[in-house]
Amino acid sequence: MTDLKKRILVTGGAGFLGSHLCERLLADGHDVLAVDNYFTGQRDNISHLMGNPHFEIMRHDITFPLYVEVDEIYNLACPASPVRYQFDPVQTTKVNVLGAVNMLGLAKRLKAKVFQASTSEVYGDPTVHPQTEDYRGSVNTIGPRACYDEGKRCAETLFFDYFRQHQLRIKVVRIFNTYGPRMHPNDGRVVSNFIVQALRGENITIFGDGMQTRAFCYVDDLIEGFVRMMATQDDVTGPINLGNPVELPMIHLAERIVELTGTKSRLINHPLPVDDPMQRCPDISKARDTLGWQPIVQLDEGLSRTIAYFDHQLAAGFFNT
C-alpha cells in the first residue's frame, strides 16, 4: 500500500488493460474512478470491484468533455484490436484525438499528471528492428489500420505539445503485444484467437506462412510498467517502450498453445491482412534504465494462466453467443 493516497481516473477502465490497472491501483490503496462507454469494455471485467468502497465506475465517452476531480489520469480508452478499431474507424480516430484533447484539458485544469497508453503501432511496418523510441515509423496513412496508428501518433503529438506549451506533466508509453485474462475472445488478437480455437477443437488460423514475429508481454508485467512510469519524476515524459523483447514466430506460438491445451486442432493458413507488420519487437533499454523494469512472467506461465481463464469462461457459457 502506498503512503500517499490519490484519487485516480482510468479511462477505458472496464477494458482488458484498464480493469487490471484499476485492480492494481486499488490494491495500492488509491481511490479509483473508472470511465468507459462499453464499446469494447465489459462490466464483467470489473464486477468483482463493484463492492469496493474505493472504486467507482462511470459510463462516459471521452470524445465528450469530462468534469471530475482527480489527482492523476491514465488514458487507456480506445479499441486496441484491428477487428474492433476497424469496425468504426471514424470513432477510433475521434477517441484517440478528441479523447486526448479532453483528457489533456482536464489534466491542465487540475494540474494533474496524465498518462497516455500509446502503442507499438506508431512504428507501423518497421524497417528498424528491434524498435527503439527514436525510430519514427513506417505507417500507411490511408490504410485500414491508419485510424488507430495515426490516431495514436496524433495523440502523442498532442501530449508533447501540451508538455511544451502548458508545462503539463505527461507520461507516454508505447505498448507492445500484451495478453492475459480478460482479453475478449472475439477481438482478433492472436493469443485469444489461438486459445479459443484450441479449446473449442477448431482449426487454428495462421495468417500468411506464420513466420511473422511478435513479442508477448503478460498483463501483470505491463501494469507494473504503467505504475512505475507514473511514479517517475516530472522530467521523465517518455515515450518509453513497454513489452517483451523476446520475439516469437506466430506458428511457434500456435504450436505452443496446441501443446499446452492438448487440443487436436490443426493449423490452417489464411492470407495475410493488409498492412500487417512482419516484425514487431521492442527495444526496452530505456524502460530498464529509467524504470528498472522488464518482464518477469515467462511465456508458458502466462499462457497457462490465460488458457485457464478462457477455459473457465467457455465452460460457464460466457462465450457461446
Active site residues: 148
Q: In what order do the strands lie in the sheet with 240-242?
A: 55-59, 31-36, 7-11, 72-75, 113-119, 170-175, 240-242
Beta strands in 153-292 (DSSP E): 170-175, 178-179, 204-207, 213-215, 217-218, 240-242, 247-249, 267-270
Q: Which residues contact 94 (CB under 8 A, 6 or more apart)?
A: 63
Cell 490452417 locates to: 268
Phi-psi category of residue 263: left, alpha or beta, with phi > 0 → left and psi -120 to 50 → alpha? beta
Residue 231: phi, psi to the nearest 5? -85, -5
CB 66 within 8 A of CB 106: yes
The three cell numbers of residue 165 are 506549451
State the residue for C-alpha cell 492523476: 72
Cβ 113 vs Cβ 73: under 8 Å: yes
Helices (H), 211-293: 219-230, 250-261, 285-291
Q: Give the alpha-carbon dihedral of 164, 167, 169, 174, to 10 degrees.
A: -10
